Amino acid sequence: METKVIKEVLIKSAKSIYNSLPILIGAILLIGLVSAAVPKSYYGMLFSKNPVIDSFIGSGIGSILAGNPVTSYILGGEFLKQGVSLVAVTAFLVAWVTVGIVQYPAEAILLGKKFALYRNISAFFLAIVVAIITVVVVRVI
């Protein structure tokens, strides 16, 4: 009996993944397009020297331009070389991988509009909190 249940679950899961593939592929392509269209040197000009404002700017930019963690480490290093503050870079990196304005439509379809909205809003503000805590901890160490 358990084998039958497992088989049914696997079939339903496969169908669900198959049905969501066009949405996921579209979101991934849109993220790639936005990331490629905005020059990396442009980001450095957007930040001020105020840590609070920079954390909001970093989180905002990271929210709009979502990406993967490997790319974020490279961008973070380049931002630091351009003189962007650590709190801004950290907020950007956390929001880059956790918040997704670009992929929100796909997330809303797959997980529900309310959940996607709340998740993105909380991830935006938590990116700022994590950035501030990270910088404080790094300075203490």
Give residue 38's domain range: 2-140
Q: What is the pLDDT of residues 64-107, one digit of tens each?
A: 877 777 677 777 887 888 778 899 999 999 998 899 888 888 88
Instruction: Say how many domains are in the chain.
Output: 1
The answer to whether residues 51 and 85 touch, using CB atoms and an 8 Å cutoff, is yes
Q: Which of 24-38, 44-58, 102-116, 118-132 has the highest mean pLDDT?
A: 118-132
C-alpha angle 138-97-80 in degrees, rounded to nearest 5:
45
